[in-house]
Amino acid sequence: MTGSATTIVRNCHVFDGVQDRPYAGAVAVRDGRILAVGPEAGVRAAAPDSAREVDLGGGYVMAGLLNMHTHLSLSLPGPGGDAVSRMSPHSLALYMASGARRTLHSGVTTVRCVAEKAHAEFALRAAIDAGWTSGPRIFTAGRALVCTGGHGHEGSDTLECDGADAFRRGTRAQISAGADLIKVMISGGIAGEHEAIDTPQLTGDEIAAVIETAHAWGRKVTAHAGPAPIIEQAVRLGLDCVEHGYQLTEPVVKLMAENGTSLVPTLIVTRCKDFFDSLGVPEWMQQRSLGAGERHVESYRLALAAGVELMLGSDMPPFQPTEGTTATVRELEHMAAFGLAPVEALRAATIVPARWLGADEQLGTVEPGKYADLIAMDTDPTQDVSALRSLRWVMKGGEVVRDDRTGLRA
């Protein structure tokens, strides 16, 4: 091991995610992983004299963000989405690569993709791993499973199945393609013209077939779901995570907490008119989305009060500019504004998702042995998550990929 392979990130406050408060310290990084973290003297002692130094100018450093509800190939109704849907496979892959790069620069070092078109994200993931292009670590569900005509059926980011056998086959097909988890649409949603948010879409035996098959292969299942009765049925069948949860009730959040079912609330999707306008999203969808906002927040508050495990997910592309920041940071601000303490919001964006993904030995906190996926900003995020608006430096696997002081965007 040569000393030049070691970097000391110093002159910073470290929020390590283990303790609740940041402390003045440093992080030593070697071979893409964290070698040591703590007060600077101790970190220096653990690193060779020849180590390179990165001076963060008094900034706050923490683990890179994990965004648990991502679509790099999102196409909502309207002209913006139609342009994505019409792309050739080659264009689509390049478009997604551009989104992946911008995602990484936005401080999101890991994504969980929950429906991408044509399995293109498997090629993207391989390209990122090979160093051909830069992007976050990708965990993916492949294509989301949906009944004929169900939520999102219009595109190649879903796979239509009908009957328990077809849902078993669909589950196995995603795993065979390389899926880390399974996504299933068990109710209607905002973006489907011929359905309502509370339209039931799968039968009980279909939901059970997906969950049983995925679990047998060691994969978790997350479900796009709005209404409480359908969520209750799926949670009783062993569902691992709920996306959106627009219409949760007290008994159902209690059941979720008891069963360890997580919630990715995606609060931003019922309060993002500027995003919809930029894509030319039609009036019927805007009304449905913005009209569901109040009940959506009520659901979120119930889940929070019941102790349901909450995780950050934007649904919108993670880097998407909105209201003066990115969709990821704006979502975290919503989660905090509607009741989650800042330090818990930061955990909902780091270690809690890492644990759900079974990757908490590698990701989610600033601890020795984990990947050196780090972000830095000007002010203290444990006081106010809006500190993430001042994000100006990103490291993935020990390599600096964004530094606003030098203009670097790798």
Cβ–Cβ under 8 Å, residues 248 and 228: yes
Nearer to Zn ion, 117 or 402 (CB): 117
Other C-beta atoms lying within 10 Å of the C-beta of residue 19: 12
Does 116 help bind Zn ion (rule: CB under 5 A)? Answer: no
| Minimal distance, residue 222 CB to Zn ion, in Å | 10
Residues numbered 313 to 352 that lie near Zn ion (CB under 5 A) are 315
Count of chain residues binding Zn ion (CB under 5 A): 1
CA 303 to chain centre: 19
Cβ(69)–Cβ(56) below 8 Å: no
CB of 22 to Zn ion, least distance (A): 33
Distance in Å, CB of 224 to Zn ion, minimum: 7
Least CB distance from residue 286 to Zn ion, whole Å? 17
Nearer to Zn ion, 201 or 365 (CB): 201
Cβ(256)–Cβ(308) under 8 Å?
yes
Q: How far apart are CA 322 and CA 115, in angstroms?
A: 22
Question: Which residues in the 281-320 window bind Zn ion by CB under 5 A?
Answer: 315
Look at residues 191, 99, 101, 104 and name the one whose alpha carbon lies nearest to residue 144: 191
Nearer CB in complex with Zn ion: 232/315: 315
Within residues 129-158, the interface with Zn ion by CB under 5 A covers none
Q: Estimate the crossing angle of helix 228-236 against helix 204-216, to 10 degrees.
A: 40
Residue 51 or 68: which CB sits closer to Zn ion? 68
- In whole angstroms, the minimum distance from the beta carbon of 78 to Zn ion comes to 16
Strand 6-14 to 23-30 pairing: antiparallel
From CA 56, how far away is CA 376, in angstroms rounded? Answer: 8
Q: Which CB sits closer to Zn ion, 156 or 362?
A: 156
Of 7 and 320, which CB lies nearer to Zn ion in the complex structure?
320
Residue nearest to Zn ion (CB): 315
In the complex with Zn ion, the residue whose CB is nearer, 95 or 362, is 95
Instruction: State both tokens at 364.
Output: 């989610």
Q: Decide whether 224 or 370 has the Cβ nearer to Zn ion.
A: 224
Q: How far is the CB of 269 from Zn ion (least distance, A)?
A: 8
DSSP output for 235-294: HHTT--EEEEEEE--HHHHHHHHHHT-EEE--GGGGS-HHHHHHHT--HHHHHHHHHTHH
By CB under 5 A, what part of segment 72-101 binds Zn ion? none
Do the Cβ atoms of 169 and 201 come closer than 8 Å?
no
Q: How far is the CB of 378 from Zn ion (least distance, A)?
A: 31
In whole angstroms, how close is the CB of 342 to Zn ion at the nearest point?
Answer: 26
Pairing of strands 399-403, 408-409: antiparallel
Which parts of this chain interact with Zn ion (CB under 5 A)? 315
